[in-house]
């Protein structure tokens, strides 16, 4: 009888190895399915909460003492570029 592992033992160990690999892949597949179900459930809950969410800008209790008084107009880029001078002495004045 030769020393080492015989063919029957190799066949038996390969069978056990295949069973272990199948169990691991089933666990990975099951974990992926559970993850996807949990993600969809959390997404659905977030969408339901978002539909009930209504944003209202905070109104200060006290007026801002640093706010400028009087009519002020916010300038767009064309208004700024019309009065803008970036060359020589005109840029200072």
Handedness of CA 66, 67, 69, 71 (dihedral sign): positive
SS3 57: coil
- pTM for the whole thing? 0.42
- The answer to whether residue 74 is domain-embedded is no
Q: In this predicted structure, what is the pLDDT of residue 37? A: 92
Residue 62 per-residue DSSP state: S
The confidence score (pLDDT) of residue 25 equals 84
User: 35 lies in which domain range?
Assistant: 1-56
pLDDT tens series, the chain, 93 aa? 455 667 778 778 888 888 888 888 888 888 889 999 999 999 998 888 888 777 777 776 777 767 667 777 788 888 888 877 666 666 565
Sign, CA dihedral 10-14-16-17, equals positive
Residue 33 lies in a domain: yes
47: region left, alpha or beta (phi > 0 left; psi from -120 to 50 alpha): alpha
Q: Is 79 a domain residue?
A: no
Residue 1 pLDDT: 45
Q: Give domain status of residue 34, yes or no.
A: yes
- Inside any domain, residue 41: yes
Q: Is residue 16 part of a domain?
A: yes
d(CA 43, CA 37): 10
In the chain, how many domains are there? Answer: 1
Determine, yes or no, domain membership for 3.
yes
Looking at the chain, how many residues does it have?
A: 93
- Return the SS3 of 5: coil
For residue 91, being part of any structural domain is answered with no
């Amino acid at each position: 009888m030769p020393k080492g592992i015989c063919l029957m033992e190799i066949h038996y160990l390969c069978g056990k190895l295949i069973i272990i690999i199948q169990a691991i892949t089933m666990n990975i597949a099951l974990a992926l399915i559970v993850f996807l179900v949990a993600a969809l459930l959390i997404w659905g809950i977030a969408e339901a909460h978002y539909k009930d969410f209504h944003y209202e800008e905070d109104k200060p209790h006290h007026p801002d003492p640093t706010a400028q008084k009087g009519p002020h107009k916010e300038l767009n880029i064309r208004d700024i570029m019309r009065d803008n001078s970036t060359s020589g002495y005109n840029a200072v004045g």
